[in-house]
A = this chain, B = another copy of it.
């Protein structure tokens, strides 16, 4: 028998609306049209937009894309630093129904070409700083489909680089309608963004975000931070990383201020913090360390009470301690590209304030508990899919479930099934569950090296090493690094009789890898293997750790 509550109570336009972060900017533009939305450049005469202006410009972008024939399910790639067009793209692209693919600005041409091909990008917006590499990438594309190329020329950073597109961003957007009647997606499960991750294999995978997840992920960030309306947010975290952990949408939800920043440098960070009254910013540990390690004169200018969100495997306790001494309020979060950035948090407890700074930092360095609107984070035994005991000892794999998990990997049903099929998203990170239920990572994900906030796939480097004729076998692990957090350390076993120098191997890497992925450490050894011939990375990690502390 059908329940009385399931009869004659249908969804209508009156009581059902798809969840989409596009709703946030519409509201802020309507309710707070005159409030500042975006600033960039010198405080005196830089770019300033209020919410009404920013909204109009994003509608114009959406309209221009639509006029160019781009619509539902099409991919628009962008290769941009944290400048105003990047903020605008987070709204304008999905407004026309398209999917935003933010490219890591440090990538090499062949990887970009792969992404443009795999994502079937119909347009690309490229900052002139990256025109050269993009030009090469475009020449390497396999697809014969036309692609619309737009040059984004930054007044404050015009290198005079070659124009590779058909028009500039400003010309293109000027052709759009600022009153463009954009539509919400028909389904909240529709894609909003595509983010390539090096993941756990060398081949980039396209992580697809949906509107529902972007909406709830953004709200989770607000809740986690108790972020008030009109917060002033400094863009130190690249927007090409998990869409800046959803913060373009967060700031729209709060009618806050986007303080754009092209380059993350201590001086620029402090200047912007002071000039614009910054209240919040995010970053990998290295970003925060920039401030901790800056000179005293600069530090003395820092405002107190700024909220800083840090993600990273294990933020060094010295960094946490240093930040605290400088008057920052630190929130430690954890997540992956597949979880829209942070999806767990080391939620703090008042009694911890009575602990010594080191013990407190030790607690605060954990991966913690599920985000407010995430369904769960747990350490499971990947064989049985049962939670490990909360004893702080038993290892398992960190897994997430809930709405703040990707739609899946684009055109990769096997990887999607492997990753989500068991009803939990497998992070690949090994951890324990402590007695208070908090997750603590014990071993980094087997294959990923996080260097300066960037994911580097060890397998990708290994693949390159294996291409060198002198190399018999190679294994790459993360070596702790004071500046970068981690750096790849390559252990090479040479073919019998072969000879090669470190310099030759580095030169070989440069042919295939983006600059930031080039390994700094090489060792020639006989690789430790298991009985079945599998390389024992665990042993290598210990060696690398030892090497780091030598």
Contacts and interface: CB of A to CB of B under 8 A. Distances in A.
A422 to B, nearest CB: 8
A408 B208 contact: no
A332 interface: no
A6 to B, nearest CB: 7
B27 A372 contact: yes
Nearest to A223: B222
Nearest to A219: B219
A11 B375 contact: no
B12 A403 contact: no
A15 B405 contact: yes
Interface stretch (A108-116, A410-418, A523-531): A410-418
B13 A424 contact: yes
Pick from A11, A12, A412 the residue with the most CB of B within 10 Å.
A12
A386 to B, nearest CB: 15
A30 interface: yes
Nearest to A410: B4
B375 A10 contact: no
A175 interface: no
Contact of A6 (B73, B223, B370): B73
A372 B12 CA distance: 20
Given A9-B408, A229-B226, A372 B253 contact: yes
A402 to B, nearest CB: 5
A549 interface: no
A23 interface: yes
Nearest to A371: B27
A7 interface: yes
Contacts of A69: none
Contact of A5 (B8, B190, B226): B190
Contacts of A437: 30-31
A408 B23 CA distance: 24
Contact of A15 (B32, B213, B370): B213
A245 interface: no
Report the interface size class on chain A.
35 or more
A242 interface: no
Interface in A512-540: none
Interface in A322-337: none
Given A27-B370, A253-B223, A17 B375 contact: yes
A180 interface: no
Nearest to A194: B5
A508 interface: no
B17 A403 contact: yes
Contacts of A355: none
A31 B369 contact: yes
Contact of A403 (B15, B410, B411, B419): B15
Contacts of A405: 14-15
Interface string A122-137: 0000000000000000
Contacts of A191: 3, 5, 9
Interface of A: 3-17, 19, 23, 27, 30-32, 72-73, 99, 120, 189-191, 208, 213, 219, 222-223, 226, 228-229, 253, 347, 349, 369-370, 372, 375, 400-403, 405-408, 410-413, 416, 419-425, 437
Given A5-B208, A9-B416, A223-B253, 8 more contacts: A4-B120, A6-B190, A9-B191, A9-B208, A12-B423, A27-B372, A30-B369, A226-B228
Identify the 5 closest CB pairs spanning chains A and B, nearest first: A3-B73, A13-B423, A5-B191, A15-B405, A14-B420
